[in-house]
């Protein structure tokens, strides 16, 4: 798997397929492995590029104050390094917030945007449980719990948290140091884009699920209502990670949108 050096930092990324470029951005505690099935589903039609965002996965993890804008800069620099001027963009959770902020800053570079279970109102967009998990105590408990199998298996009783049983999530999440998790959650909580949704000028698909236990489903409805011309797809019965929990339905909706 290849690396790029962006602003002096090594960025790992996965690439699959040929055709129109598509960047896929993961969320907090994720990495490019989160998209492994998605790459398999989409790569016959498009060129998929899924980076490990700085601070996660196999990319460098400096002790810095991470920001949504910083990741936007990394994405733009990655496009330049790969000689990709325009591309489609998919983001899940925090990755969707980064993608949305990127579109607001550089709309000329994005063809189509897909937002998957994306908070658009900062901290207000999280459930009470999500806000608790965003505290230092909550993040520490999550970090410890990811290494204890019986805690993960206890969560099977709550369908909206079943995604933590998926090795594509847990294997990546264990690589994220606690300082990176804390800094990224702070950045996400202070990024409220809800008053700028009307400025989005590219075609958008909003994908949400009704059993999300992290982000309030009202966030997805808000984005769909405020972004002019946005399409919306609900993945019923899925939690925070519909592409992991209901992959066939999710990938079909994404591919139909991108190729439509």
Q: Supply the DSSP string of 86-108, one letter for each residue.
A: -EEEEEETHHHHHHHHHHHH-GG
DSSP β-ladder status, 87-92 and 110-116 = parallel
The predicted structure's pLDDT at residue 143? 57
Distance CA 134, CA 136 (A): 7
Residue-wise pLDDT for 98-153, tens only, equals: 999 999 999 999 999 999 999 999 999 997 555 545 555 555 556 555 555 555 55
DSSP β-ladder status, 3-6 and 9-16 = antiparallel
| For residues 31-53, average pLDDT | 96
User: Of 101 and 173, which is predicted with more confidence?
Assistant: 101
The predicted structure's pLDDT at residue 134? 55
Sheet of 9-16: strand order equals 3-6, 9-16, 47-51, 21-25, 87-92, 110-116, 204-209, 231-235
The model's pTM is 0.90
CB 242 within 8 A of CB 250: yes
Looking at 34-48, 117-131, 161-175, which range is the least confident one? 161-175
The predicted structure's pLDDT at residue 213? 84
Where on the phi/psi map is residue 117: left (φ > 0), alpha (ψ -120 to 50), or beta? left
- What tokens does 76 get? 């733009």
User: Which band of pLDDT confidence, cut at 50, 70 and 90, is reported for residue 15?
Assistant: very high
The predicted structure's pLDDT at residue 57? 94
Residue-wise pLDDT for 211-252, tens only, equals: 898 899 999 999 999 999 999 999 999 989 999 989 999 999
Nearest CA-CA partner of 178 in 91, 56, 93: 56
Nearest CA-CA partner of 207 in 178, 176, 236: 236
Q: Report whether pLDDT(253) > 70.
A: yes
The predicted structure's pLDDT at residue 127? 78
Distance CA 9, CA 102 (A): 20
The predicted structure's pLDDT at residue 247? 95
Mean pLDDT of the chain: 89
The predicted structure's pLDDT at residue 140? 52
Topology, domain 3-259: Rossmann fold (3.40.50)
């Amino acid at each position: 798997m290849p690396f790029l050096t962006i602003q002096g930092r090594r960025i790992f990324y996965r690439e699959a397929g040929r055709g129109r470029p598509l960047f896929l951005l993961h969320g907090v505690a994720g990495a490019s492995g989160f998209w492994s099935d998605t790459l398999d589903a989409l790569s016959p039609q498009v060129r998929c590029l899924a980076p490990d965002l700085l601070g996660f996965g196999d990319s460098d993890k400096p002790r810095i104050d991470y920001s949504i804008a910083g990741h936007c800069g990394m994405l733009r620099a990655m496009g330049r390094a790969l000689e990709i001027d325009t591309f489609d963009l998919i983001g899940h959770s925090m990755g969707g917030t980064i993608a949305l902020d990127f579109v607001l800053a550089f709309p000329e570079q994005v063809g189509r945007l897909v937002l998957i279970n994306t908070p658009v109102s900062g901290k207000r967009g999280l459930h009470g449980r999500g806000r608790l998990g965003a505290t230092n105590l909550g993040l520490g408990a999550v970090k410890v719990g990811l290494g204890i199998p019986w805690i993960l298996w206890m969560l099977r009783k709550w369908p909206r948290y079943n995604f933590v049983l998926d090795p594509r999530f847990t294997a990546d999440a264990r690589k994220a140091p606690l300082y990176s998790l804390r800094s990224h959650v702070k950045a996400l909580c202070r990024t409220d884009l809800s008053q700028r949704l009307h400025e989005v000028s590219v075609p958008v698909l909003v994908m949400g699920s009704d059993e999300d236990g992290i982000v309030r489903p009202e966030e997805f409805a808000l984005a769909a209502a405020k972004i002019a011309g946005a399409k919306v797809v609900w993945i019923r019965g899925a939690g925070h990670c519909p592409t992991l929990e209901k992959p066939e339905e999710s990938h079909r909706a994404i591919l139909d949108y991108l190729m439509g």
